[in-house]
């Protein structure tokens, strides 16, 4: 099936949402992408057709919602842009990763489905419910999303080459640079640990994190976003993977941890993360930068003793987060929801 993926927030090639959805769809389906966070115009990313929205279709923040005329104009421009991408790709359906793109697809009269990565909240309840009713199907990466079939995040772990290095020399954290992922804890804790570190990511805290890394006298390097294809080799250059998370955050699964496990890195997480709750014996936890520094130093001193745990981590990741299981579930949802939708007429 030819599936157009539509997202307001996902950055092609770099965002976790790009990885999870493309791993889910490919190679069984043909995929293209349209979104506001892609460069305006048409191009390719990993061989996948990508269309970035141009102004005014990507200018939602500049259209005050209190002004109904402006909002209607924005909605119209966005719907037209998604429709053009749909027709250009000759898509069968639009798979929308957020409510805004679902609204645009619905407004354009396109056959659409939703793959929600987080709880809805952009729209009033009645408007969201209308989308759920109108969609071909809705899946959610969390079990309590209203109106959605639970389809958890999965990653194609076969991309990652497992290794058993003889010592621990460096630490890495891949992250969305947002408050919820507490990247400052990683930088400060790693800098105090005695090991070298790398912070990888992009987001609103990027400038702040670049300055913080620059102040570590070379102990922690900053790296911008790394694409899906390049991430495995980057992880293989490190031995310890760190995942920070704000306490009380509504999502506790962190895809980075699964990737660390697949590549043979020892995962260090915070006590309220999913791995710590599900399999506490597979990890060591910390609450702040001092605690992280202590755990990193301990691992460096006891590295050989962690070999069986690293092997168990890899087995846990492959057993629990198999991409094949997710693909089978997704394809079954497709089969039960679609009889090959007709493309819309002009």
Contact between residue 195 and residue 296 where contact means Cβ atoms under 8 Å apart? yes
pLDDT band at 252 (very low <50, low <70, confident <90, very high): confident
Judge whether residue 61 has pLDDT over 80.
no
Which helix (H) or strand (E) element contains residue 150? strand 149-150
φ, ψ (nearest 5 deg) of residue 221: -95, 150
Q: What is the pLDDT of residue 153?
A: 85
Q: Average pLDDT of the chain?
A: 91
The arithmetic mean of pLDDT across residues 231-248, rounded, is 96
Domains contained in the chain, CATH given: 2-154+323-337 (3.40.50.2000), 157-320 (3.40.50.2000)
Q: Which residues have a Cβ under 8 Å from the Cβ of 22 and sit 6 or more positions away?
A: 5, 31, 46, 48, 228
pLDDT of residue 75: 85
**Residue-wise pLDDT tens digits, 288-337:** 999 999 999 999 999 999 999 999 999 999 999 889 999 999 999 999 99
Nearest C-alpha neighbor of 171 from the set 235, 239, 262, 222:
239
* Nearest to 244, CA basis, from 256, 235, 236, 232: 256
CA-wise closest residue to 278 among 308, 215, 321, 247: 321
Mean pLDDT of 204-232: 95
pLDDT of residue 290: 98
Mark out the alpha helices in 149-302 (DSSP H runs). Answer: 183-191, 206-214, 231-236, 255-263, 274-278, 289-301
Q: How confident is the model at residue 346 (pLDDT cuts 50, 70, 90)?
A: very low
Of all residues in the chain, the percent with pLDDT exceeding 70 is 93
- The CA distance from 56 to 297, in Å, is 51
Binned at pLDDT 50, 70 and 90, residue 250 comes out as: confident
**Mean predicted confidence (pLDDT) in 128-150:** 92
Write down the pLDDT at residue 59.
59
């Amino acid at each position: 099936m030819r599936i157009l993926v539509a997202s307001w927030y996902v950055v092609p090639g770099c965002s976790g949402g790009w990885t999870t959805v493309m791993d889910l769809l490919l190679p069984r389906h043909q995929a293209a992408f349209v979104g506001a966070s892609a460069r305006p115009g048409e191009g390719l990313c990993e061989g996948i057709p990508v269309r970035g929205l141009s102004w005014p279709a990507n200018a939602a923040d500049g259209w005050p919602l209190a002004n109904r005329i402006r909002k209607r104009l924005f909605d119209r421009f966005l719907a037209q842009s998604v429709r053009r991408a749909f027709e250009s790709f000759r898509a069968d359906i639009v798979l929308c990763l957020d409510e805004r793109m679902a609204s645009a697809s619905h407004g354009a009269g396109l056959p659409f489905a939703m793959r929600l990565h987080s709880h809805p909240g952009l729209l009033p309840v009645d408007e969201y419910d209308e989308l759920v009713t109108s969609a071909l199907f809705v899946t959610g990466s969390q079990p309590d999303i209203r109106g959605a079939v639970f389809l958890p995040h999965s990653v194609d772990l076969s991309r990652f080459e497992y290794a058993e290095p003889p010592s621990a020399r460096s630490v890495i954290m891949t992250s969305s640079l947002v408050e919820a992922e507490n990247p400052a804890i990683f930088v400060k804790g790693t800098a105090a640990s005695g090991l070298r570190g790398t912070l990888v990511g992009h987001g609103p805290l990027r400038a702040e994190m670049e300055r913080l890394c620059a102040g570590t006298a070379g102990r922690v390097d900053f790296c911008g976003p790394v694409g899906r294809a390049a991430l495995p080799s980057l992880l293989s250059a490190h031995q310890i993977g760190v995942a920070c998370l704000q306490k009380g955050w509504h999502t506790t699964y962190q895809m980075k941890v699964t990737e660390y496990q697949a590549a043979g890195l020892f995962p260090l997480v915070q006590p309220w993360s999913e791995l710590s709750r599900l399999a506490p014996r597979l990890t060591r936890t910390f609450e702040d930068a001092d605690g992280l520094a202590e755990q990193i130093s301990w691992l460096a001193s006891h590295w050989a003793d962690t070999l069986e745990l690293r092997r168990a981590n890899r087995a846990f990741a492959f057993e629990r987060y198999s991409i094949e299981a997710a693909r089978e579930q997704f394809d079954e949802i497709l089969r039960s929801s679609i009889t090959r939708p007709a493309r819309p007429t002009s």
